[in-house]
Amino acid sequence: MAGNYVFTSESVTEGHPDKLCDQISDTLVSHYLRQDPLARVIAECAVSTGILFVSVKAVADATVDVPNAAREVILDVGYDSGNFNGKTCAIMTSLSGLPLGERRLDESGMDDEQLRQLVAKENVTVFGYACEHTPPLMPLPIWLAHKLVRRLDACRKETLGYLAPDGKCQVGIEYQDHTPVRIDGITLVTSQREDGTPLEQLRRDLREQVIEPVFAGQSMRPDPKTRIVINPEGPMLEGGPDKHAGLTGRKNGVDTYGGFSRQSEAALSGKDPTRIDRIGAYAARHAAKNIVAAGLAARCEVQLSYSIGLHEPVSVRVESFGTGRLPDDRLAERLVAAFDFRLGGIIRRFDLRRLAQAQDGQLYRRLAVYGHVGRADLELPWESTADVEALAESVPAA
């Protein structure tokens, strides 16, 4: 029996040092791809008090002012004063080309045989997950955590000017037999500027302007037994890189399923569309979401395993946790028949070259905060459920 348990997931604001690094990394990738859609780019950042280190390895017909692009992101996030300031922080860069053999190839006009020449450059296993617990078919804890930090970021910019950019949220959900039944706890931690705002006012403001609006009209809301904790250790002045370092790719749980499903150890941000450890995770999410949307399972995890030098995955595996209307191996067979999981096939199917131009070139940066999957605010091809009819054909009645 599954019994009762509480599962917690965390999300962080755009000013968290790790997310700041993710946004800078994806912004740099976007700058290269906007000038050269065939660019090959890997961008990674590390940040600490007063300093940002940026490493970019690229093969591209493009010129990018890396320090200026990084400063624009830092200032836009809100670090415009204090010990970490986008106007004055030191920025160290390491810019170099990718190893020989990294070719710029356009898969859009390739035939099937040519697509086979596009092979994985990494050994990686990626995972995609979907379940029926929320409208975008995401686990409830991470979905609510993202909603709360998004609201926290909005309030900082619009009504609560004394808040600083760094913050995070944890949501705990009580489950009975894998079904969410109530909100067990909510923890919000946010930094503030040194203006002497009393802690009690901070707590009152976050309850009234962050927590209550997020749950207004929701069927599942905090109840009298829900633990709501706000800055339990007291005020956090300034926060951000002045208090804790950041690194690209360190928040994989925040980027995906909040730990509710397995996840790859590889970073998602800072990579161009030819990196299978990034786009393979998107393909796995798309597959899992379409299985659930088609009514083939209530919960589904899809595993794709790739090996260096091979053009297609060595393994496509489905785990439906006993909720599938077909055996898991049959579900995997349907995925292989319906979707092209080859590197070139994923790039072409999701039109990933064009995505770098979308939303005024800001899509990649927007992916870097509030999750790469489950985003109802962005028109992401891996969130589409247009293939449910093909997957659901000839399914026996329940």
- Domain with 372 in it: what CATH number? 3.30.300.10
Is 301 a member of any domain?
yes
Report the pLDDT value the prediction gives residue 7, as an integer from 0 to 100: 97
Lowest mean pLDDT among 86-100, 149-163, 210-224: 86-100
218: pLDDT strictly greater than 90: no
Please tell me whether residues 291 and 343 are part of one structural domain.
Answer: yes
Give residue 265's pLDDT band: very low, low, confident or very high (50, 70, 90): confident
1: pLDDT strictly greater than 50: no
What b-and-e string marks burial along 201-229, b requiring 16 or more CB atoms within 10 Å of the CB? ebeebbeebbbeebbeeeeeebeeeeeee
Measured CA to CA, the distance from residue 241 to residue 182 in angstroms comes to: 35
Please tell me whether residues 276 and 334 are part of one structural domain.
Answer: yes
366: pLDDT strictly greater than 50: yes
Report the pLDDT value the prediction gives residue 107, as an integer from 0 to 100: 64
Q: To which residue do tokens 């800078």 refer?
A: 24
Report the pLDDT value the prediction gives residue 103, as an integer from 0 to 100: 60
Please tell me whether residues 194 and 230 are part of one structural domain.
Answer: yes
**What dihedral angle (degrees, nearest 10) is formed by the CA atoms of 243, 248, 251, 254?**
110
Please tell me whether residues 228 and 193 are part of one structural domain.
Answer: yes
Please tell me whether residues 260 and 185 are part of one structural domain.
Answer: no
Measured CA to CA, the distance from residue 99 to residue 136 in angstroms comes to: 39
Measured CA to CA, the distance from residue 39 to residue 61 in angstroms comes to: 7
348: pLDDT strictly greater than 80: yes
Report the pLDDT value the prediction gives residue 248, as an integer from 0 to 100: 97
| Contacts (Cβ under 8 Å, ≥6 apart) of 49 | 83, 84, 241, 242
Question: What mean pLDDT is reported for the chain?
Answer: 92
Please tell me whether residues 201 and 262 are part of one structural domain.
Answer: no
Tell me the percentage of the chain whose pLDDT exceeds 70.
95
DSSP states of 376-396 = SSS--GGG--TTHHHHHTTPP
Please tell me whether residues 128 and 203 are part of one structural domain.
Answer: no
Is 231 a member of any domain?
yes
Give residue 208's pLDDT band: very low, low, confident or very high (50, 70, 90): very high
How many helices (H) and strands (E) are present in the chain, helices listed first?
14, 12
Decide if 126 contacts 264 (C-beta within 8 A): yes
Is 113 a member of any domain?
no
Q: Which residue has the higher pLDDT, 81 or 299?
A: 299
Tell me the percentage of the chain whose pLDDT exceeds 90.
79
The CA-to-CA distance between both ends of the chain, in Å, stands at 22
Decide if 277 contacts 249 (C-beta within 8 A): no
Is 379 a member of any domain?
yes
What b-and-e string marks burial along 270-308, b requiring 16 or more CB atoms within 10 Å of the CB? bbbbbbbbbbbbbbbbbbbbbbbbbebbbbbbbbbebbe
Please tell me whether residues 61 and 173 are part of one structural domain.
Answer: no
Is 35 a member of any domain?
yes
Measured CA to CA, the distance from residue 294 to residue 271 in angstroms comes to: 31
Q: Where does a domain end: 205, 239, 273?
A: 239
Phi and psi based region of residue 217 (left: phi greater than 0; alpha: psi -120 to 50; beta: remaining): left
Amino acid at residue number 377: D
2: pLDDT strictly greater than 70: no
Give residue 219's pLDDT band: very low, low, confident or very high (50, 70, 90): confident
Structure confidence by residue, pLDDT tens digits, 155-187: 999 999 999 999 999 999 999 999 999 999 999
User: Please, where are the H alpha helices in 159-275?
Assistant: 199-206, 212-215, 252-255
Please tell me whether residues 63 and 202 are part of one structural domain.
Answer: no
The residue range of the domain holding 324 is 124-133+249-392
* Backbone dihedral angles phi then psi of residue 378, each to the nearest 5 degrees: -125, 140
What's the domain count of the chain?
Answer: 3
Is 116 a member of any domain?
no
Give residue 194's pLDDT band: very low, low, confident or very high (50, 70, 90): confident
Is 110 a member of any domain?
no
196: pLDDT strictly greater than 90: no
Q: Where does a domain end: 239, 273, 297?
A: 239
Report the pLDDT value the prediction gives residue 115, as an integer from 0 to 100: 74
Is 338 a member of any domain?
yes
Report the pLDDT value the prediction gives residue 383, as an integer from 0 to 100: 97
Please tell me whether residues 379 and 295 are part of one structural domain.
Answer: yes
Structure confidence by residue, pLDDT tens digits, 23-69: 999 999 999 999 998 899 999 999 999 999 999 999 998 999 999 99
Q: Where does a domain end: 239, 268, 286?
A: 239
Please tell me whether residues 233 and 145 are part of one structural domain.
Answer: yes
Please tell me whether residues 265 and 229 are part of one structural domain.
Answer: no
Structure confidence by residue, pLDDT tens digits, 91-122: 999 998 876 556 666 666 666 777 777 888 88
